Amino acid sequence: MTEPTSRRVTANLSLTLDGRYHGPAGPADMGAILPYATTETARRQLGRIWEGATTAVLGRRNAEGFLGFWPTVAADEKADPRDRAYAQWLVDAEKVVFSATLPSAPWDRTRLVNAPAPKIIEELKTEPGGDILVNSSASVIKPLLAADLLDRLYLMICPEIAGAGPHLFEDGLPPSKWHLTHHEAGPKGETAMVYDRAR
């Protein structure tokens, strides 16, 4: 068996105050999160998440949604330079997309996988490269939390209560301890936090 490298597994996600990553109407119900997505605090957090990462991991829904948005930002000279930098990184990075239904990879430099997330992440950790960033995909983050495979969490907390919708942190996760290594509050009450797993 190949030994793991020193690659960190990181993940980013925006959550409401009640811990939900979208509202009760489904994945498109982002009304409690979107008003905070382009604040200065959020843009600085966006710059943090891909720093040092060479692999982007996405669920199918995000892979398709990102494809319709980020490449156009990379090409838009009028876009915020921080958004363009992230967009160009995402276009250029190695991408791993979890899907049982996509007939072909939706991006260049993309590998489709249909296997348990912990298994694929363990395999990625044996390959050379920088951080492995699970990019806003709760469907991948949740099983990695359950398997205790995440080394860093980038969280944006939005100061609204959705009242319903799925939680990131569900009952039954193994106990774990995390160190707060960065936090920043924005003028709208949004908070960017970086937590590193204490092992």
| Calpha distance 132→137 (Å, rounded) | 13
Q: What are φ and ψ of residue 132, in 5° steps?
A: -105, 110
Domains of the chain, with CATH numbers?
9-198 (3.40.430.10)
Model pLDDT, residue 80? 92
Q: For residue range 126-143, what is the model confidence (pLDDT) as tens digits? A: 999 999 999 999 999 999
Two structure tokens written together for 22: 């979208």
Instruction: Report which of 158, 185, 189 is spatially closest to residue 30, judged by C-alpha positions.
Output: 158
Task: With CA atoms as reference, report the closest residue to 17 among 153, 156, 161.
Answer: 161
Residue keyed to tokens 């490449």: 71
- Token readout for 30 is 């982002």
Give the number of other CB atoms < 10 A from CB of residue 125: 19
Helical residues (DSSP H) of the chain, grouped into ranges: 40-50, 60-67, 70-74, 81-92, 117-125, 138-146
Listing DSSP states for 170-186 in one string gives -TTPPP-EEEEEEEEE-
Q: Provide the pLDDT for residue 2.
A: 65
pLDDT score, position 1: 53
pLDDT in tens, 87-99: 999 999 999 999 9
First to last CA, the chain: 23
Q: What pTM, to 2 d.p., does this model score?
A: 0.94
- In the numeric block, the tokens 């489709």 are attached to 112
Q: Flag residues of the chain having pLDDT under 70.
A: 1-2, 4
Residue 6: what pLDDT? Answer: 86
CB 120 within 8 A of CB 98: yes
Q: What is the CA radius of gyration of the chain?
A: 16
